[in-house]
Amino acid sequence: MPLAPGARIVELGSGKAALLIRLLRRWPGTSAEGFDRNPWFIAEARAAAANAGVAGRLSLIDTDAPGALLAGRSVDLAIGIGATGIVGDQAETLAFLASIVGPGGHVVFGDGAWVADPDPDGLAAFGMARDELADGADGLAALGRAAGLEVIAVELVTPGEWDAYEAAYAGAADDWVAANPDDPERDAIAARAAGMRASYAGWRRAAMGFAIGFFRVPGG
């Protein structure tokens, strides 16, 4: 991902800004903006950016409506990984990312993707619809082309990588529950972690994966 000095990066759902910090360290002279609605994550991100020596090149915005703030912008790299829902469904999110990147710039988009047909009962219990996710890497590539992007590469995470992510997700929830026994949200978060484990073991591991696409805006 060659980024020239002066390149501008935007990430939707930037969380603790780990990816943005890595990019800023790798490419001196670039600047980045991260948009997230979790003030605790943003606070941790600011501390991490200061420790990494890139705080002066990273702006972090606490908002649940980044679309309005970014309308009409032109950046060099737009990122949305696991950020679907912030500005719409997968197709709408990818189209939005494409709309804020100038000619010759790049888009990185990652989200869930079906690797097999999901169990209908499990899907219903999970509160999802079949058409919410692309069908594998080919489906994500098709969404990119529909957004007017050139497809450079699309990769599915490995089953081992997905296992590690799911285990870390549930483990982090367990750690939080243990550390916050009196919090009013404790029981709900514990139940969510248990539900995620059960659905993953029951049907999601066989049907759901995660795809990451690297795209280019034509021109430039």
CA distance 9 to 3: 9
Domain assignments of the chain as residue spans, ordered by start: 8-116+127-157+209-216, 160-204
By CB atoms closer than 10 A (0-12, 13-18, 19+), residue 12 is buried
pLDDT reported for residue 39: 95
What confidence tier does 2 reach under pLDDT thresholds 50, 70, 90? Answer: confident
With a cut of 80, say whether residue 103 has pLDDT above it. Answer: yes
CA distance 197 to 46: 31
| Structure tokens belonging to residue 163 | 């296992």
CA distance 98 to 85: 16
Residue 99, SS3 per DSSP? helix
With a cut of 80, say whether residue 58 has pLDDT above it. Answer: yes
What confidence tier does 50 reach under pLDDT thresholds 50, 70, 90? Answer: very high
CA distance 70 to 137: 28
pLDDT digits (tens, 9 = 90+) for 112-160: 999 999 999 999 999 999 999 999 999 999 999 999 999 999 999 999 9
pLDDT reported for residue 140: 98
pLDDT digits (tens, 9 = 90+) for 151-208: 999 999 999 999 999 999 999 999 999 999 999 999 999 999 999 999 999 999 999 9
CA distance 56 to 174: 35
Place of tokens 């600011």: 46
Which backbone phi and psi does 156 adopt, to 5 degrees? Answer: -90, 135
Closest residue by Cα to residue 114 from 128, 127, 97: 128
pLDDT reported for residue 71: 86
Q: What is the CATH number of domain 8-116+127-157+209-216?
A: 3.40.50.150
pLDDT reported for residue 97: 97
pLDDT reported for residue 72: 86
Closest residue by Cα to residue 207 from 159, 161, 171, 167: 159
CB 78 within 8 A of CB 191: no
DSSP state for residue 65 in the 8-state scheme: -
What confidence tier does 215 reach under pLDDT thresholds 50, 70, 90? Answer: very high
